[in-house]
Amino acid sequence: MLDDSTAAATAWPPAYPQGYAVVDVETTGLARDDRIISAAVYRLDAFGDVEDHWYTLVNPERDPGPVWIHGLTSDVLDGAPLFGEIAEEFSERLADRVLVAHNAVFDWSMIAREYARAQRAAPTRQRLCTIALSKELALPLPNHKLESLAAHFGVVQQRAHHALDDARVLAEAFRPSLHTAARDGVRLPLLECRPLTEWSDSPATPRVGYQPSGPHSSAGRYGPGSWRPSRKRPACPYPNPGRYEAGKSLKQGMRVAISGDTSIDRELLEDRAIEAGLHIATSVSRLTSLLVTNDPGAVTSKTVKAKSYGTPVMDEAAFTQLLRDVTPSDGPGTPG
């Protein structure tokens, strides 16, 4: 690990970002109709040194959810600004920086949804998940909780589930992680941040094991590698016709996996695919017909497996176009 005296002497990878915004948000829950109730940002320079920090409460215009966890009651939030009123300042904190968060897909998803509601676009174009980075560095952690990452680097938590303190803890743990990555020549696991252009606040369909009031950091409520709780869906009634062939139509029963951000809310896109008779797969296997991703160069488990299996890859725009006219299955059969 590099300390302050040796950082300047290190050959810093030129491909590394020039600045970071370490973010934490507390929310009313996990669902797509849940809201942000507080947000914190620590701005760091290219070497991970703190430049400044910022914190705000946000009025969610609904009940605050698990008060016993985040401690923010309706009375406290009643006089807080709406997200639209803090969006500009939030944007200034994020602009031209890589968003860093612990389980970053959750924080970014909530932020992107709030910006969509406010009819604004977040300036963030890339994010870095410290869980993914700890895996790249092979850190000997007992689990992927923030408290475990903090303990590994000797960072003391003072107020868990308080956005400002969680962001501080993460910023202090991210700096040595960044220096270790630079020293060892590790490629940072950067992913694209894609703003939402189509979304819904209506309650989602029932989920397996979902507890609406749970915080994003609670264990046992997510699918593998995702903040999204598992959703109960009927089995696809059509047999798998095999892989997608370029230039042809999609066919009912095809197994489709989706990776990374989508402009259409992920759940809406999945629901439309299922309604068209496709099978939405949670992972990529040799049986996968197609991988849909807007970031094919990202080093994720799905993109890596798709490349190794030779699975066809398509972006979201092409996929949504093909969804308009899916070829019927040859006939009913056992679920694919």
Determine what percent of the chain is predicted with pLDDT higher than 70.
86
The pLDDT, as a whole number, for residue 199 is 85
Q: What is the pLDDT of residues 109-140, one digit of tens each?
A: 999 999 999 999 999 999 999 999 999 999 99
The pLDDT, as a whole number, for residue 235 is 87
66 CA to centre of own chain: 21
The pLDDT, as a whole number, for residue 33 is 86
Q: What is the pLDDT of residues 174-221, one digit of tens each?
A: 999 999 999 999 999 999 999 999 987 766 544 333 333 333 443 333
Q: What is the pLDDT of residues 58-84, one digit of tens each?
A: 999 999 999 988 999 999 999 999 999
- CB-based contacts of 272, cutoff 8 Å, min separation 6: 320, 323
58 burial class (0-12, 13-18, 19+ CB within 10 angstroms)? buried
User: How big is the chain, counted in residues?
Assistant: 336
Pick the more confident residue, 323 or 32: 323
Q: What is the pLDDT of residues 226-266, one digit of tens each?
A: 445 555 677 899 999 999 999 999 999 999 999 999 999 99
Determine what percent of the chain is predicted with pLDDT higher than 90.
79
The whole model's pTM is what?
A: 0.83
CB 182 within 8 A of CB 10: yes
